[in-house]
Amino acid sequence: MGIGLGFDTGGTYTDAVLMDLSNGKVVRKAKALTTRDDLSIGIGNAVKNFDKSLFKDVVMVSLSSTLATNSVVEGKGCRVGLVSVGREFDGSIPVDAYAFVDGGHDLKGKEASPLDEDAVEAAVESFVGRVDGVAVTSYLSVRNPDHEVRVKKIVENRLDVPVVCGHELSSSLGFNERAVTSIMNARLIPIIKELITSVKAVMRDVDIKAPLLIVKGNGTIMGEEVASSRPIETILSGPAASMIGAKSLTGKEDAIVMDMGGTTTDIGILRNGQPRLEKEGAVIGGRRTRVLAAEISTSGIGGDSRIVANNGRLTLSASRVVPLCIAASRWPRLKDRLKAVSETVPRQTPESLGIDNVVLDSEFFVKVKTVGGENLSDDNRRFLDLVSEEPFSLREASAALGIHAFDFTVAKMEENGLIQRIGLTPTDLLHAERSYVQYDPEASSFGVAYAAKRLGVPPVEFIALAKQKVVEKLSQELLRKLFFEETRKLEIDSVGLDLMNKAISRKDGLDFRVRIGLNKPIIGIGAPVAAYFPQVAEIFGAELLLPEHSEVGNAIGAVTGSVAETLELLIRPRGSGSDNPPCTVFSALGKLDFDTISAALEYADTEGRAFVVEQAGKAGADYVDVKTDIKEKRYDVGGGLGAGNALLEIEVVLTAVGKPRQFHTAA
């Protein structure tokens, strides 16, 4: 029997499933808490109760994860420097060091301005000790990557950090989008490497000898080596796996898939059995990237979303915190301190601070890890030492250290991944009302009691209000996704928002009412979906499917994908008046000139094909097939009078697809 071991490492839980690859049946499944300070602990806990005799039959291990997506949504990751060549970056995503230098190319791939290597050298020198990775983006590098390649060599000669070039990640136009993609990729490299190292450590511990593959954001899979250098392609890995898993579990070809995890809720639509790919690039955290991925809407609402009651207002934050019930299970003394807080008179915090800078007495902090080279004040270093073994609230830390609470920059330390906040979450709501109890419900009840005081309502009413907030937020994100699918626009104007809110609240306007119904079923994936999704489905009169094994749907999807690698080549004629003119080929392989179109097409069929087959092999595929898609673009040269048309360009897309390589023991 050939068994596939699928993992999904999310912000809160790590899921594991053993699946019989011959019949698609789930053999074993389990969930464990994700341990962000040491991922291998959570991964190991997920498989520790499996029948060890089954491990000898494991022929492949496949992994999906929301860690990359969550890191982008939460603004976390390593320190990144950006070298921008030929055009200023618009600053739509922050970097830790930045340099603009002269250079770049034009649309024909010709050098528009010489690369200022002296400026590059100076920039790289200024990055020393300030960055853990470098992104390089040059104007129109998709037409000629020469300047990016040269900058990369300079960086590698001076800095011992990963270097990512825009042309390595995308062949699409869009300077700022490629810059964003490169920055995100550089920032994610240590996160994905840590994840891969953790999985392989567990594989060694249980004596599994099999290839390790990782799910990409388009639902296909790739080998560990490719994932280590292109972690940005794991953006939306978890949600893409959930869509594949949802189809596998229900057999539905057309459905809305809603995957609610600890940190995010991801919404995608299956059409004819496949997730639709966003060719313009995935939008993550409100930013357009150049990553080819399933068109999935990701929003910061999950079981671990932070709930804040302040100045009579109830807010759901996109920030992930550790639920009080889970924290109290790990640090039992926390419950008594929460009880004491719940009996105090709350202090309201000025709203002008912003939600991220509001710190409640019922919120605690614990050190996650030490990041080398951080420029921390002495006060912050003392704070980190204090919370290294046990959580403390800001008020407790201030009293213990004799330092004013405002002197601790906890928001910045959170952003840098040094500390983790503990606070009230939707998971705590379920524990407090005893509808879902897996950890310490009393700790959740104390947190709810304190929050209810801050809002001026009884705890039972607070739970109802907070749960309704979650349902409304989920419903809003669902409608935003459906509106985008219909209109291809991300923004919703004031009229659209009014109609959306009326449809969700079912409250009539002065002279009209709004009701929106769905013509597809909703498939719920994730552990907490039964608590919230029935109300969402009721609002829209939709059929709701909560299939067996839905709580490990991502891990199931991880073992059912194929390996795929793509290369896009753009062939542009030079001149006219010939059926087979000279031309230029633009691709990730570089800019090349040919005497004829025929020669360029032959190059695409030979060298391009060899390249994607090689890449698919590196990505972990066996038995590779190559699909070639050729599209011509022409324009009318006769003003519609029948004088004929001329070739504008030829787009050649080569896609190599293969089944995942499996481990085979000698007979």
Where exactly are the structural domains of the chain? 78-188, 305-456, 471-553, 563-660
Say which residue, 54 or 194, is predicted with more confidence: 54
Say which residue, 472 or 187, is predicted with more confidence: 472
- What's the rounded mean pLDDT across residues 45-66? 91
- What's the rounded mean pLDDT across residues 464-472? 96
Say which residue, 172 or 565, is predicted with more confidence: 565
Model confidence at 75, pLDDT cuts 50, 70, 90, reads low
Model confidence at 621, pLDDT cuts 50, 70, 90, reads confident
Contacts of residue 296, Cβ cutoff 8 Å, sequence gap at least 6 = 217, 236, 239, 240, 243, 266, 267, 268, 275, 282
Model confidence at 666, pLDDT cuts 50, 70, 90, reads very low
Q: Are 443 and 388 in contact (CB under 8 A)?
A: no
Q: What percent of the chain has pLDDT over 70?
A: 93
Q: Can you give the pTM of this predicted structure? A: 0.76
Strands 274-275 and 265-271: antiparallel
For residue 333, the SS3 value is helix
For residue 561, the SS3 value is coil
DSSP alpha helix (H) spans, 418-514: 426-432, 441-455, 459-487, 494-505
> Using alpha carbons only, how large is the chain's radius of gyration in Å?
26
Residue 641 pLDDT > 60: no
CA distances to 18, 382, 398, 424 from 404, in Å:
52, 12, 6, 24
CA distance 647 to 577: 10
- Per-residue pLDDT tens for 164-173? 888 887 777 7
Q: Per CATH, is 78-188 categorized as 1.10.3470?
A: no
Residue 489 pLDDT > 70: yes
Helix (H) or strand (E) holding 524: strand 522-525
- Per-residue pLDDT tens for 335-361? 999 999 999 988 877 766 678 788 999
CA distance 585 to 597: 9
CA distance 554 to 617: 25
Query: How would you label 510-537 residue by residue, b for 16+ Cβ within 10 Å and e otherwise?
Result: eeeebebebebbbbbbbbbbbbbbebbb
What does the pLDDT read at residue 347? 81
CA distance 52 to 59: 14
Residue 619 pLDDT > 90: no
- Per-residue pLDDT tens for 20-37? 988 889 999 999 988 877
- Per-residue pLDDT tens for 96-108? 899 999 999 998 8
